[in-house]
């Protein structure tokens, strides 16, 4: 039974994340989406809403769970007895930071492997940050985020545009 952890801020979850979740589920028996508080990034959505939006975006997938984690990612990985950490890689620009994180995590926990998965090309330009900016300024994000997220963003920014 192989379990993987897919960590991130997911503020909010996008079709890029959903695509990576699908790929991870094809490789592993179980995937846990692990949501970090990421308070330093001043999240738009509180933790409970980020968790709910992920759950609402991947309904009925019994091999997927969604959990909050605090503290070090590698400690959570060990607690959950997972074999690997999944991270999405969209472009070369992602690589440097991802490489630093993967190697620091390896230093902290040599048995924990990081696996990078590339989302479908259609989603390679999407980020939660850009989605929030477009939504805040009234743009249509319905093609790049799941319906519950588009609805939550409309609600957040106060207008059904």
Shortest Cβ 43–ligand PNS spacing (Å): 9
**Separation CA 4–CA 34 (nearest Å):** 10
Q: Residue 38's closest CA among 14, 10, 15, 9?
A: 9
Residues that bind ligand PNS (CB under 6 A): 7-9, 36, 38, 72-73, 101, 104-105
Asked about 128 being catalytic, the answer comes back as: yes
* 41 is annotated as an active-site residue: yes
Complex with ligand PNS: residue 72 or 140, whichever CB lies closer: 72
Q: Which is nearer to ligand PNS, 14 or 150 (CB)?
A: 14
Of 23, 50, 90, 132, the active-site residue reads 90
CA distance 11 to 38: 9
Residue 11: helix, strand or coil by DSSP? Answer: coil
Q: Dihedrals φ, ψ of 18, to 5°?
A: -60, -40
Residues 6+ apart with CB under 8 A from 157: 135, 136, 138
Nearer to ligand PNS, 38 or 142 (CB): 38
Least distance in angstroms from the C-beta of 94 to ligand PNS? 9
CB of 152 to ligand PNS, least distance (A): 17
CA distance 142 to 152: 11
Catalytic residue among 2, 41, 78, 129: 41
Q: Which residue is nearest to ligand PNS (CB)?
A: 8
How far is Cα 70 from Cα 75, in angstroms, rounded to an integer? 9
Minimum separation from the CB atom of position 71 to ligand PNS (A):
7
- Asked if 136 is an active-site residue, the reply is no
Catalytic status, residue 9: no
**Catalytic residue positions, numbered:** 17, 41, 90, 128
């Amino acid at each position: 039974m192989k379990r993987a952890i897919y960590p991130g801020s997911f503020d909010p979850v996008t079709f890029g994340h959903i695509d990576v979740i699908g790929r991870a589920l094809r490789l592993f028996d179980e995937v846990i989406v692990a949501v970090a508080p990421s308070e330093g990034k001043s999240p738009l959505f509180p933790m409970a809403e980020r968790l709910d939006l992920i759950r609402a975006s991947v309904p009925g997938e019994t091999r997927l769970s969604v959990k909050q984690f605090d503290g070090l990612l590698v400690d959570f990985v060990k607690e959950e007895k997972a074999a690997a950490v999944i991270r999405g890689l969209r472009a070369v620009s992602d690589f440097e930071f991802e490489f630093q994180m993967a190697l620091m995590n390896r230093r902290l926990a040599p048995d924990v492997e990081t696996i990078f998965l590339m989302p479908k090309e259609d989603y390679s330009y999407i980020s939660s940050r850009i989605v929030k900016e477009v939504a805040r300024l009234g743009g249509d994000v319905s093609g790049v985020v799941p319906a519950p997220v588009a609805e939550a963003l409309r609600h957040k920014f106060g207008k059904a545009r």
